[in-house]
Amino acid sequence: MPFRDDRIQIQLSPKEEIVFKRSFFTFVALLVVLSLALAACQPKPTEAPTQPPAQQEPTKAPEQPTATTAPEQPAAPAFEGMKVEAPNCDYGGELKSIEAVDAQTVKFTLCYPDPAFPSKVAFNVFAIVDSEYLAQVGGDSIKMSDAPVGTGPFKLKSWVRGDSITFEANPDYWGEKPKYQTLIFRWSEQSAQRLLELQSGQVDGIDNPAPEDFATIEADSNLQLIPRDPLNIFYIGFNVDLAPFNNEKVRQAFAMAIDRKKIVDNYYPEGSEVATVFVPPALKPGWSDANPWYEYNPEMAKQLLTEAGFDFNQEVKLSFRNVVRGYLPTPDKVAQEIQAQLAEIGVKVKLNQMESAAFIDSTAAGNEAFYLLGWGADYPDATNFYDYHFANDNNKQFGTLFPDIVEPIRKAAQISDPAERQKLYDEVNAKLKEHVPMIPVAHGASAVAFTASVKNAMTGPLSNEPFFIMDPGKDTLVWMQNGEPAAIYCPDETDGEALRACQQIFETLLLFKPGTAEAGPGLAESYTVNGDATEYVFTLRKGVKFHNGADLDANDVVASFKAQWDAKDPNHKGRTGTFEYFGAFFGAFLNAE
């Protein structure tokens, strides 16, 4: 076909035309690819993509609001750790400072070495409470008892005074949760009633069955008897400041007039021992036979009383409570026996049976001149016996302390070497025998009893029954003990009935392993101690909650200890304000007047 003269006219054969078209299309394809490559190198289009490539600055003004440009949320406030510190150690106590290093770390710095410190902080009067709630109730044990806030496996549901206490399982417990929903505490002073209710199935477990009932329980296939080791002491106490016991010869005479073996043989179960010193034989250093107690000698006792000018016409009052304890299984019968033995040397004794809490408060205040009392171990060390009773400014029961007893006791507490400690305790025992602030009588074997259907039933040498791991095979476990607690918040309590109730609700930095006197992890999962045992650092568990939903942190630990240690702390109230255990374990209060 001809072209106009301004065009080049090319005539192609059919085959050439096909080749040409193929080349042309190839050329066009290359142009498209090249265009795309060039486009990728060009500046970004004005419409910014939804997510620009990293480090690519926008080419157009103002960005549209995105999640990355939203206002930042305020950061959680930094943890402000509490610290309480004595200006120096001249105030007379063991603690130098307690510091919340961070939210999960607490450091205790001591004025002198204390190898027993871990066991001390495992005792449940040193339970950790929510610091805010503690401030709300002002450290008042009675207010706290109405609505206690702890971290333990049970929470308080109700306390019907004079009747029972009902606990319910804590669903948010950090440890092994109870296998049943409800734990009920009841009480009776009468061992016969406790056994009858156990046999009839009204209760699932009882404390301290009478010695004469041990064989009956063991012979009953529906019941189980679980013995306790005799880690205790029963003693006859004197206030050395109150007449007629302000005369040392009178006290020595009474010591010779008491037939301790007769008391143990007639009123204690098998496995009990006559006491020769104040601590049980299992605690060594502490116990030894270097200074055994006076032999029974009524004739010498009467002679000493005569030399002392004792008035045989007077009537002396012997106070006691009729509450069964492992160290004293039959209080009323033993009181009558002592009354009869003293009558043999011409001493007239009037028995004064008191209500349990009133008796404890009165002896602690130093108001009883002559009384029956005892002690079960809180932790397995002689300091728990000697220091609490004879080197404790807060314990008034024996009257004025004896410096020649206090000094070796306090020295022994700061020494790790067993042989050196024992030398000092031998001095202590010799001086106790000389001054006679008490008469050691017995180390009593005791037991608990449960129905056979209760699995994992157990007790321990510290009377710390782990109810939360028991399995009654039903929704409720009912326990019957010897008396009603005075409170269910225990920094200011010494009575075993209260301590057992507190143990269900409150927990300590370390906890005694079930059925033992061995301290292991508790609210603290671990701790470290320096070489001379003057600095203990505890690491708290994470995720532990109080019953009110508050999270456990290190400030709760500092506040809980400060409420006992610092006499001017607004939470230093308790029930009586005595805080005997703190004084016994850690010496003087901070800021005491």
Per residue, the 3-state secondary structure of 189-209, as one string, reads CCHHHHHHHHHCCCCCEEECC
Higher-confidence residue of 103 and 52: namely 103
Mean pLDDT, range 343-370, rounded to an integer: 95
What's the whole-number average pLDDT of the chain? 89
Lowest mean pLDDT, pick from 41-50, 312-321, 339-348, 357-366: 41-50
Mean pLDDT, range 193-202, rounded to an integer: 97
The CATH architecture of the domain made up of 152-228+446-505 is: 3-Layer(aba) Sandwich (3.40)
pLDDT of residue 557: 98
pLDDT-derived band at 496 (thresholds 50, 70, 90) equals confident
Given a contact cutoff of 8 angstroms between Cβ atoms, the answer to whether 491 and 125 are in contact is: yes
- Please check whether the two domains, 152-228+446-505 and 232-443, share a CATH topology: no
pLDDT of residue 72: 64
Task: Please state, in angstroms and rounded to a whole number, the distance separating the CA atoms of residues 441 and 398.
Answer: 16
Given a contact cutoff of 8 angstroms between Cβ atoms, the answer to whether 299 and 319 are in contact is: no
Q: Which CATH number fits domain 80-142+507-593: 3.90.76, 3.30.1490, 1.10.3470, 1.10.287?
A: 3.90.76
Within 8 A by CB and 6+ apart from 112, the residues are: 89, 94, 414, 534
pLDDT of residue 93: 93
pLDDT higher than 50, residue 501: yes
pLDDT of residue 74: 65
What share of the chain in percent tops pLDDT 90? 79
User: What is the pTM (predicted TM-score) of this model?
Assistant: 0.76
pLDDT of residue 184: 98
Taking only Cα atoms into account, the Rg of the chain, rounded to an integer number of angstroms, comes to: 38
pLDDT higher than 60, residue 242: yes
Q: Give the start-end residues of each E strand in 330-454.
A: 348-354, 370-376, 438-443, 446-451
3-state secondary structure of 318: strand
List, for residues 545-591, the tens digit of each pLDDT value: 999 999 999 999 999 999 999 999 999 999 999 998 998 899 899 99
Given a contact cutoff of 8 angstroms between Cβ atoms, the answer to whether 370 and 318 are in contact is: yes
Q: Residue 105 is encoded by which pair of tokens?
A: 């770390």
Mean pLDDT, range 33-50, rounded to an integer: 40
CA–CA distance from 289 to each of 249, 278, 415, 426 (Å)?
23, 11, 21, 9
Nearest to 459 by CA among 207, 118, 281: 207
Task: Please state, in angstroms and rounded to a whole number, the distance separating the CA atoms of residues 568 and 334.
Answer: 43
Q: Which ranges of 184-271 does DSSP label H, i.e. alpha helix?
A: 191-199, 214-219, 248-257, 260-267
List, for residues 275-285, the tens digit of each pLDDT value: 999 999 999 99
Mean pLDDT, range 477-494, rounded to an integer: 94
Q: Which CATH number fits domain 232-443: 3.40.50.2300, 3.10.105.10, 3.30.70.120, 3.40.50.1010?
A: 3.10.105.10
List, for residues 288-343, the tens digit of each pLDDT value: 999 999 999 999 999 999 999 999 999 999 999 998 888 999 999 999 999 999 99
Task: Please state, in angstroms and rounded to a whole number, the distance separating the CA atoms of residues 448 and 465.
Answer: 9
Strands 524-529 and 205-207, bridge-based pairing: unpaired
Given a contact cutoff of 8 angstroms between Cβ atoms, the answer to whether 208 and 324 are in contact is: yes
Domain boundaries, the chain: 80-142+507-593, 152-228+446-505, 232-443
DSSP state of 211: G
Lowest mean pLDDT, pick from 48-52, 391-395, 459-463, 556-560: 48-52
Strands 446-451 and 223-228, bridge-based pairing: antiparallel
Within 8 A by CB and 6+ apart from 550, the residues are: 130, 132, 133, 149
Other CB atoms within 10 Å distance of the CB of residue 61: 6
pLDDT higher than 60, residue 20: no
Lowest mean pLDDT, pick from 199-203, 288-292, 465-469, 493-497: 493-497
Mean pLDDT, range 396-410, rounded to an integer: 96
